[in-house]
Amino acid sequence: MLSYPEMNDLVDKCGSAFSAIIIASKRARKLNDGAEGLLEEYKGSKDVSKALEEIIEDKLVPEEKI
């Protein structure tokens, strides 16, 4: 179960849970490959958690929201 960030917040940012997961998984792969993080500090330690936090902090924006 996802406790932080909350799924409702992610759906608000991305439009759907599916979009949030796709966006986060693509970003997590980039982080895993060595991309620099977009936040100063993360609560989570895993790449997927970091990607979800970037979405919540508006550092990672879905393309259709631009």
- pTM for the full model? 0.86
Q: What is the pLDDT of residue 66?
A: 45
Q: pLDDT for 8-65, tens place per residue?
A: 999 999 999 999 999 999 999 999 999 999 999 999 999 999 999 999 999 988 776 5
Pick the CATH number of 7-59 from 3.30.360.10, 3.90.940.10, 3.40.50.300, 3.40.50.620: 3.90.940.10
Would you state the pLDDT for residue 65?
54
Cis amide prior to 62 (ω within 30 degrees): no
Give the residue among 46, 47, 17 at the shortest CA–CA distance from 29: 47
Confidence band for 4, pLDDT divided at 50, 70 and 90: confident
Indicate the domain borders of the chain. Answer: 7-59
